[in-house]
Chain A
Amino acid sequence: EVQLVESGGGLVQPGGSLRLSCAASGFTFSTYWMTWVRQTPAKGLEWVASIKEDGSEKYYVGSVRGRFTISRDNAKNSLYLQMNSLRAEDTAVYYCAKNGDYDLDVWGKGTTVTVSS
């Protein structure tokens, strides 16, 4: 069974950092692009970042570029999102997703990030 399990969410103060992880199983992780998407009640679903199979290409939404870093460890079947200089507007449920053919065909259950003092 294809599965994605996120972890690392929590409460952090503005300006702080957090590292999200996503453990993948049930498919050949190293052969797929991977993506982080976040969801808030106010803004809905928002694509955050994507990374190529070998990590050689990375893309970010403008609002996080320079603050967030997507990475992966194919030996550990894991995807990461390092989030620095966090702001209140980064508060969201963060989902890890497997890329299909320019779509997102498998999603994790999500991890909640709250940025508040």
Chain B
Amino acid sequence: DIVMTQTPLSSPVTLGQPASISCRSSQSLVRSDGNTYLSWLQQRPGQPPRLLIYKISNRFSGVPDRFSGSGAGTDFTLKISRVAAEDVGIYYCMQGSQSPWTFGQGTKVEIK
């Protein structure tokens, strides 16, 4: 199984400041069709996960443009350009390139 490792596990940030989360996979996520199926999910307190970013860098419907994704191969990054109060929660990366689909352990974003 592909292991997804996120860093940091906790990220205290000041409102309006940027935040960055890294995700590394134990194998390349480039699938045979040439696509890389790395997505990012947000889980606000008491809520289910919600898709933010798919295929590395594509924002899902309704996701604010302060969220962006980048990376390739085995190294990926989620950036929040200016953290807002509603961004508090846990962020997960997920790979869908190889079965079984696997998730990172989560990064908690909290306000300083």
* Same complex: yes
Once the chains bind, are A95 and B48 in contact (CB under 8 Å)?
A: yes
Once the chains bind, are A101 and B48 in contact (CB under 8 Å)?
A: no
The answer for the CA separation of A104 and B42 in the assembled complex, in Å, is: 12
Interface residues of A in 68-117 (CB under 8 A from B): 95, 100-110
A46 at the interface (CB under 8 A from B): yes
Main secondary structure of the interface of B (DSSP, over half): loop
How large, as a class, is the contact surface on chain B?
20 to 34
Instruction: Please give, as numbers and ranges, the residues of chain B lying within 8 Å of A27 by CB-CB distance.
Output: none
Instruction: Please give, as numbers and ranges, the residues of chain B lying within 8 Å of A95 by CB-CB distance.
Output: 48-49
Once the chains bind, are A104 and B94 in contact (CB under 8 Å)?
A: yes
A-B interface contact total, Cβ < 8 Å = 57
The residue in A46, A101, A108 that gathers the most chain B C-beta atoms within 10 A of its C-beta is A101
B50 at the interface (CB under 8 A from A): yes
Q: Chain A: how many interface residues by the 8 Å CB criterion?
A: 19
> What are 19 sample pairs from A and B whose C-beta atoms fall under 8 A apart?
A44-B104, A44-B105, A45-B92, A45-B106, A46-B103, A47-B100, A47-B101, A59-B99, A101-B54, A102-B31, A102-B35, A102-B97, A103-B37, A103-B39, A104-B39, A104-B49, A107-B49, A109-B47, A110-B48
